[in-house]
Amino acid sequence: MTYHAGAARYAEEQPQRRNDHRNGWQRDRARILHSAAFRRLQNKTQVLSIGNNDFYRTRLTHSLEVAQIGTGIVGHIQANNNQQQVYLPELPLIESLCLAHDIGHPPFGHGGEVALNYMMRDDGGFEGNAQTFRILTKLEPYTRDNGMNLSRRTLLGVMKYPCLLNQLQRQPMPPVAKSFRQLKVSDWTPAKGIYDDDQSLYDWVFQSLSEHDRELFISHRNMGESKHRKSNFKSLDCSIMELADDIAYGVHDLEDAIVMGIVNRHDWQEQVASAIADIKQCWLADEIGELSVKLFSRHHYDQKDAIGSLVNAFITAISLETQGRFDDPQLDLQARMDPPMAKALEILKHFVLHYVIQTPEIEMVRFKGQQVVMELFQAFASDPERLLPLNTRARWLQAGEQADNQARVIADYIAGMTDDYANRLFQTLF
């Protein structure tokens, strides 16, 4: 993809800003940073429920940390790779992807996502990454009809799963739950892709690719009976953003759990430290003993030092690899972590998942949020013209006139809510 093709925008713009010397990536970053969708992340659950404690991360602080790690990865690769660094994203571009990567997440985290996917089961489904693309290209009112009207390369980079959802959805669908309270999360976890409702913008993003690259890039694979299919590829920029997200998830969410006393030293030693110590040819294996002492120190500066060391260890284990399958280097090159360090990061992520995220206490909060989202959707869908706010009602009516998906408008409205707003609205209605 040439610079010109990557910098193109779907809608023509007539900038009338006096002495504006920013390039396109800097403009994209500013639009994301100043958007209402980004601000709402300050009151959306990251791992632990908002409101019980003022220390831990929200989706907003998580996104800022991902952006910091993303620029660190680009800087590290630039310092160690002279030949291929011409294809690396500029820092404002990688910041844009990292800041935007979570803005499609609904209230109440994964519980809210599953709830909306269930309610949208006959209308195209719901998925957080697909909603991110929709906010960027259609919903955020920076322009009248084209969302933030971001550059093509930015939109390509934010697509973690560049396939349409109808190609990935498992068939047949699970049986409908007898009631909201009997809904099984494992049955209704969504496929990961882009909504069919947004196909026109989706097709535009790939317009500058060769036919060979386009067909290969949007390919997908079977994951087995009664499972969703999965996309096969992502762009170079997206591979950097995903690694930054994984590092932030594995390290910073762990920090929250340690400081709040959710994770104890014994579980850490048994499940993480001993497993990492057994990894061959891994820098972290030799250092994990000393880092463990610092992580569980009574002194916050020791903990911060250990967290910083972990983040640095993962960043400096990343390099560029060529797949040898695409004509375009921005698709063919991928950021990869050295296998021993990637294994260590997987151990950390698995620990956070099982000892922090999937605890009964957190799952109960998520279950409650799930019920709130489904009840709200059912209420608005029962009489949209009566209950939807005026601007959303106008969009709902317009969708009907244009034979578009009216249920998607209701999903957009609920997905944009913060946890607090959804709870207050639930109290008002019920």
* Average pLDDT over every residue of 93-102: 98
Q: For residue 20, name the pLDDT band (cuts at 50, 70, 90).
A: confident
SS3 state at 200:
helix
Q: Contact 233/162 with Cβ under 8 angstroms? A: yes
Nearest to 369 by CA among 51, 106, 108: 108
CA 361 to chain CA centroid, Å, is: 24
pLDDT at 429 over 80: yes
% of the chain surpassing 70 pLDDT: 96
Neighbours of 199 (CB within 10 A): 12
Helix (H) or strand (E) holding 336: strand 333-337
* pLDDT surpasses 90 at 284: yes
Residue listed under structure tokens 């762990």: 254
What does residue 161 show for φ and ψ, rounded to 5 degrees?
-130, 85
Give yes or no for residue 48 having a pLDDT over 60.
no
Q: What is the pTM of this model?
A: 0.94
Mean pLDDT across the chain, nearest whole number?
92
At 212, the pLDDT band (50, 70, 90 cuts) reads: very high
Is the pLDDT reported for residue 331 higher than 90?
yes
Instruction: Check residue 80 and give its pLDDT.
Output: 87
Span 67-74, mean pLDDT? 98
Q: What is the pLDDT of residue 361?
A: 80
Confidence bin at 51 (pLDDT 50/70/90): very low
* Tokens (6 digits) for 51: 């409101």
- Quick one: pLDDT at residue 56? 56
Confidence band, pLDDT 50/70/90 cuts, at residue 50: very low
CA 421 vs CA 21, 282, 369, 373: distances in Å: 38, 46, 12, 11
**Quick check: 192 pLDDT over 50?**
yes
